[in-house]
Amino acid sequence: MKKKVGISACSALLVLAAALGGCSSKPADTSTQANPQPKTVAQAPAKNELTLGVNGDPHSWDPIDTFLLDWSTVATSVFEGLVERTTDLKIQPGLAESWEFKDDKTLQFKLRQGVTFHNGEPFNAEAVKFTFDRLLGEEGKKGPQQANYTSIDRVEVVDEFTVNMILKEKDPVFITKLAGYGAVIVPPKYYKEKGDEYFNTHPVGTGPFKMDSYEKDNKVVLVKNENYWKQGQPKLEKVTFRFIPEATTRLAEMQTGAIDIMKKVEISQTESIKGMSDLELMQVGSPTVYSIRFNTSMKPVDNVKVREAIAYAIDADLIIETLLSGYGKRVNSFQSDMSFGYDANLPLRNYDPEKAKQLLAEAGVKEGTELDLFLPGTDATFKEVAQAIEMQLGQVGLKVKLNLVDASTFTSDLIPKGKAGHMYRNGWGGWTLDFDNTAYLMYHKGEFWNPDFHDEKVEELLKAERSTFDQEKRMAAFKELNQRLYELVPDVPLYQTINLWAANKRVKGFQPPADERIDLREVSVE
């Protein structure tokens, strides 16, 4: 208690000192220099140890419960799946060395031998079967991951290192899904012995790092898995992830040298980072795309000409250049250019207000017609984008009313019920990096997030791309689908986001991941 009293007394004095010293020369000196030198940050001392500042704590490490990118940021180092996605998003063997289709519905995996879980338990076919039985059974029902793997009928053990997955239906994105969170392999014996609640906070996998300690909302410490199956990996001895929700605080920690890598740098912070000689600003394209989606059952946007006019009236290039400081990419459809199914040859609708006016006149839309635009109130960047859109549509005679609503209500209630006005912000990640996921959920009749849009041709094409494993045939279907959607304009794709990261230059071999799954195996610290 004495210590606390002392510290608090000291802090009170410091505040007074700061208030008095606010106009003194020290901080002002550095900012008023005629030719300021890039500043340096305090160096973190420990070698081969890395500290990352990330924004969120997933609170549960059980892969079947989670639905958060925050989970994968950390847990990618702890758990592994049969296949894995590299930082350049290619699928490669993980815990399975190879796989082949025995027939249309039987997929056989040959498993890697000599791999052990962090608790010493062997990885084998039984572990794979246990993982999927758990995911697809009663346990899996409590979380959202089960829904991603419903195409699996059952998993059969062939021998100690061979398993067969029997599928209910053709699923061309299946292999990609196996690199997803829910499909990472968990240790059967450990799980059965320790139980669900313990496993939530003390996860065990086969990954390059073991979880050493976890303090909720504070930090998680990982240590090197000495028995990792990949020779020479990982290079780091210890990795600490600190959960710091505020971007300003994360940057402050970066500047004090308390963290080496910062996730989710904000656009407004980029200049500060560029001004620090020890820090590096890193950018990576993300699968997340934003669009303005129409409620195609509402007048006047039920008319395709009106939707097209709005697409021509929005200057997405200007929005990216000014509001996003260039950290965004134009896209021609509601998917990122990393996704299978993206057609780079599809034209963009470029800003053309005259054409917009003409289309509106043809559709009989009167000057001053009022349209609602809904967006989540917490998205400060998109609030500015929406204001720009409000102004740009105003220039072609449409009056836009912005409605800022609570983010969760917006996604979980307004959009599915078709109550998000004439237009709303639509953002989507497309985690399988295949248009299948996005296209199906957004345009297939009766889907949760598609309360109103319906087109027979679109239905046919969606069915076609799902009915074959032949990627060429699928791509052809996607091309046609993109074209059809381009003509129907259910949405105006605005931009693909670019994620910003900062790293201390003493960190070597770090590649910011597009899907937020940090691979630290090749990372080292000088």
Partner 1 sequence: MAAFLIRRLLHSVFVVLAITLVIFVLVRMTGDPVSIMFQAGEPTKEAITELRKNLGLDEPVYVQFGLYVKDMFTGNFGTSFRTGESVINMMNEKMGATLLLAFGGMFVALLIAIPVGIISAVYRGSVADFFGRIFSLLGISFPNFWLGIMLIIIFAVKLGWFPASGYEGLEYLVLPSVALGLILSGILARLVRSSMLEVMNQQYINTARSKGIKEWLVIIKHGLRNALIPTVTFIGLQFGTLLGGTVIIEQVFSWPGIGRMLIDAISQRDFPVIQGSVIILSFLMIFVNLLVDISYGFIDPRIRQGGGKSE
The region that residue 30 occupies, defined by phi over 0 for left and psi between -120 and 50 for alpha, beta otherwise, is alpha
Is 427 within 8 Å of 442 (Cβ atoms)?
no
**Out of 212, 367, 413, 460, the residue judged to bind partner 1 by CB under 8 A:** 413
Cα(191)–Cα(292) distance, rounded to whole angstroms?
A: 45
> Is 26 near partner 1 (CB under 8 A)?
yes
Q: Which is nearer to partner 1, 232 or 446 (CB)?
A: 446
Residue 215 in the binding site for partner 1 (CB under 8 A)? yes
Question: Closest by alpha carbon to 107, among 218, 209, 14, 183?
Answer: 183
Told to check if 406 binds partner 1 by CB under 8 A, we report yes
Q: Which stretch binds partner 1 (CB under 8 A): 114-122, 348-356, 410-418, 471-479?
A: 410-418
Strands, E, within 254-377: which ranges?
Answer: 261-262, 279-294, 328-329, 369-376
Q: Within 169-198, which residues bind partner 1 (CB under 8 A)?
A: 196-197
> What does the alpha-carbon distance between residue 502 and residue 523 come to, in Å, rounded to a whole number?
15
Residue listed under structure tokens 């996730």: 263
Q: Toward partner 1, which CB reaches closer, 71 or 228? A: 71
Q: CA–CA separation, 522 vs 228, rounded Å? A: 13
Write the DSSP assignment of 401-453 as a string of letters: EEEEE-HHHIIIIITTTT-S-SEEEEEE--TTSBHHHHHHHHHSTT-TT-SS-
Residue selected from 412, 445, 460, 508 as contacting partner 1 according to rule CB under 8 A: 412
Q: Residue 276 and residue 252: Cα distance in Å, rounded?
A: 12
Give me 242's structure tokens. 């600190």
216 touches partner 1 (CB under 8 A): yes
Question: Is 248 in contact with 265 (CB distance < 8 Å)?
Answer: no
**Distance (Å, whole) CA 513 – CA 71:** 14
Q: Which of 79, 209, 424, 431 binds partner 1 (CB under 8 A)?
A: 431
One residue of 120, 137, 245, 509 binding partner 1 per CB under 8 A: 245
User: Is there binding between residue 440 and partner 1 (CB under 8 A)?
Assistant: yes
* Residue among 44, 49, 59, 358 that touches partner 1 (CB under 8 A): 59
Among the listed residues 448, 456, 472, 526, the single contact to partner 1 using CB under 8 A: 448
Q: Which of 325, 409, 471, 511 binds partner 1 (CB under 8 A)?
A: 409
CB-wise, 11 or 48, nearer to partner 1? 11
Interacting residue with partner 1 among 108, 164, 200, 369 (CB under 8 A): 200
Query: Closest distance between partner 1 and the C-beta of residue 331, in Å?
Result: 20
* Cis before 376? omega within 30: no
Residue 200 Cβ, how far from partner 1 at the closest point, in Å? Answer: 6
Sign of the four-CA dihedral 411, 412, 416, 419? negative
- Six token digits for residue 384: 């500015």
Nearest to 118 by CA among 33, 183, 203: 203
Is 69 near partner 1 (CB under 8 A)?
yes
Q: Does 437 bind partner 1 (CB under 8 A)?
A: yes
Footprint on this chain of partner 1 (rule: CB under 8 A)? 3-5, 7-12, 14-15, 18, 26-27, 42, 56-57, 59-60, 65, 67-69, 141-148, 150, 196-197, 200, 215-219, 242-246, 248-249, 252-253, 255-256, 258, 406-409, 411-413, 416, 429, 431, 437, 440-441, 446, 448
